[in-house]
Amino acid sequence: MTWPGQRLWRPYVGLVAVLPREYYDEFDNHERRPTVVVRVLPVERVCIVVTRTSQLDVPHHRDIWTDKDLDLLCDKQGWWQPWRSPRVNFAAYDDPDVGRRATMPEELLARIIDAYERCS
């Protein structure tokens, strides 16, 4: 049995989605960013995500650079920022504004998770 509004599935490690800013940082200057799930906390019904940026005017010394990859919902070259890892409620993935989802390749995901663990 599920309660009204609860989901039957949960986000998984490696899930890529472009989330509206209210789910990861309501003060972000950008309305939406690609995110990847790096940890799932089922008891709390939240996941930890790493966000991605294509901004050139910020330091990227701890970031993971990747090229444009439309399969991963990244329409520009940019950086995954493992030090920027907010908690996101599972329910965020029910929002119709989230749209398409993808699964990150294992090699890139392993690099991002390793960097995330070193930052936390």
Q: What would the pLDDT profile of 20-50 be if each residue is shown by its tens digit?
A: 999 999 888 888 899 999 999 999 999 999 9
Q: 57, 66, 64: which is closest to 117 by C-alpha?
A: 64
Q: Say if residue 86's pLDDT is above 90.
A: yes
Mean pLDDT in residue range 6-26: 86
Query: How far is Cα 109 from Cα 94, in angstroms, rounded to an integer?
Result: 23
Q: 21, 3, 2, 32: which is closest to 88 by C-alpha?
A: 21
Query: How far is Cα 26 from Cα 10, in angstroms, rounded to an integer?
Result: 23
For residue 4, name the pLDDT band (cuts at 50, 70, 90).
low
Q: What would the pLDDT profile of 105-114 be if each residue is shown by its tens digit?
A: 999 999 999 9
Between 69 and 9, the more confident residue is 69
Residue with tokens 């890529």: 16
pLDDT for the residue numbered 10: 82
Between 38 and 97, the more confident residue is 38
Cβ contact 16:104 at 8 Å: yes
- Rounded to the nearest integer, the mean pLDDT of the chain is 90
pLDDT for the residue numbered 7: 54
Q: What would the pLDDT profile of 43-73 be if each residue is shown by its tens digit?
A: 999 999 999 999 888 888 889 999 999 999 9
Query: How far is Cα 97 from Cα 32, in angstroms, rounded to an integer?
Result: 10
Q: Determine the CATH number of domain 15-119.
A: 2.30.30.110
Concatenating the DSSP letter of every residue in 52-85 gives EE--SSS--TT-EEE--BGGGTB-S-EEEETT--
> Which residues, in sequence order, are bridge partners of residue 36?
16, 50
